[in-house]
A and B are shown apart, each in its own frame.
Chain A
Amino acid sequence: MSAEEGATDLTVAPSAWRQLAGSLRDHLRHPGLAVGTGLLGVLFVVALIAPWIAPYPPLKTNMSNTLAPISGAHWLGTDQFGRDVLSRILLGTQVSLQVAFAVVALSLTAGTLIGAIAGFAGGWIERITLVIIDILLAFPGFLFALALVAARGSSLESVIIAVAIAFTPRVAAVMRSVVLTIKPRPFIESSRAIGMSEWRVLWRHVIPNALPPVIVVATVSAATAILAEAGLSFLGLGVQPPTPTWGNIIADGNALITTNPWISLSAGFCIAIAVIAFNLLGDGLRDTLDPQMKRQTGRGLL
């Protein structure tokens, strides 16, 4: 949005949501956005109905039929405990999506607030927040999550909290830099002039207008959260067996890679599909919501 447009609209902040809805409608033609949304929709439905469409109970072992090859009865074979791999993969969708959405919800809320307050308040609050963000970003994200999971014990909650904490400073950093570009706009100035409280200006004007770029970052963090969960589960530090997750299915298949490669390979493809879906969505939103932000968000997403 140009300065002139802002100037003609002094007290009413342009609604980011209307903008968002408008661009979603206009740009569903964007191939990446359409494919990403479609893939996510499919995954979401699979996660919801997995218990009913799974051909076998995913936890049921069958020691008389271990390591069955791919067949009509077991489309992806069975693992070393005779469990149906396809059923486990279908159920694994739940964990991955749960982690993705929970991490995004947590880190988006915390990061948006911290970043917005830091950018909006300025002064020493901003400086201290920036130093803290910088320090937290120095820890390799995956390692940080790993150490936190190790400290808290392995569970779904631990994984979510650890990955969310690792992501919050990244969201906060982006939010702060976006708020800095919004702060000098005329509608903020005029809202103050008509006596709106600082909190109200922040809540009503700054956050909604800064959201589009932050949503892009959040979408990409969902992709990375899925990868992080898979990595933790692969190392045996994530969601504990027998609950199937794509990561621990790959770990189970690791030793069998020469004889039954499809166990690991198929779970890996599922992870890739989910991650591609979020990445396509993120790239698409970036192109449609905010073409100017391409560079700002390049850093700090890993």
Chain B
Amino acid sequence: MTTSTTAPVLSIRGLTTTFPGPRGEIVIVDDVSLDVGRGETLAVVGESGSGKTMTFHSALGLVPSPGRVVAGQVLLDGADLLRLSPRELRQRRGAEIAIVFQDPLTALNPVFTIGDQIGEVLRAHTRLSRAASRRRAIETLERVHIPDPHRRVDDFPHQFSGGMRQRALIAMAIALEPKILVADEPTTALDVTVQAQVLELLAGLKRETGMGLVLITHDLGVVARHANRVAVMYAGRVMEQGTAERVFENPRHPYTLSLFRSIPHLDTPAGIDLTPIEGVPPNPALLPPGCAFEPRCFLAGGRDVCSARRPALTPSDVPEHLSRCWHWTELAADRSPS
């Protein structure tokens, strides 16, 4: 796999989102910067609650009240989504950047046909007639490999299986050929064989249209097979970012390494024993002043710098492989690349 070298289509810079808490603002998305290029797949990995989904909801102006985006830029082809008028933002959502939501069971409107729901998206952004948008809906269903789309276009969601609902959601998202497609845990709710089909579908669509794909997932197997680049998130912060090969071969953050060790998978680097990550997932209201991962980190070992000072996301052994760890060099020494 190759990494795109052209300018990124989507560039998130320093995005920060907070929710009011009983003792001041709670930072849910903390200074997140990510880039996605044309035809590239970026995987965003992390435990649930790590801010993966909220990052992209923030980018699209979908943060539920009372949360708000307090800093950052979201550049889509150079235009900052956060500075656009509500109307201009709406016109880009769904047309230039689209999200496939997590749970296909609840993400489709139960009282409208699949065709109606795709048609709504088309007609929100184009001047297509009813008949024309219906034809487009059928074509789109065909592209996501729904069998017999002429008939199924008039079905209601409850007449679709889980995998077909996920395809229908993807159809809604790609109906206008967006430049960026964000797929939020696209396979979590599906069984294994359907998972593979859906991922294959997304990869195929990416090849056809050249869109940039963001895969939000906690499935490292998916990451290994489909991603060009990986960003690992923890407690709302990007902990490590780099090409998939580098992050898998030479993780430069102890959290990434712990993730690999905790998840049984064929792609787990050989020779590593399975060990659960110690401690409890972070409470965003009670983060330590230093590194967010310090309380659970095997590398920190009570060192003052870890608990007192917050590390920055800085280049590790190669410029495009970033790590937010004071002691990443120890990982490099520990497991030197073969």
Whether chain A touches chain B in the assembled complex (some CB pair under 8 Å): no
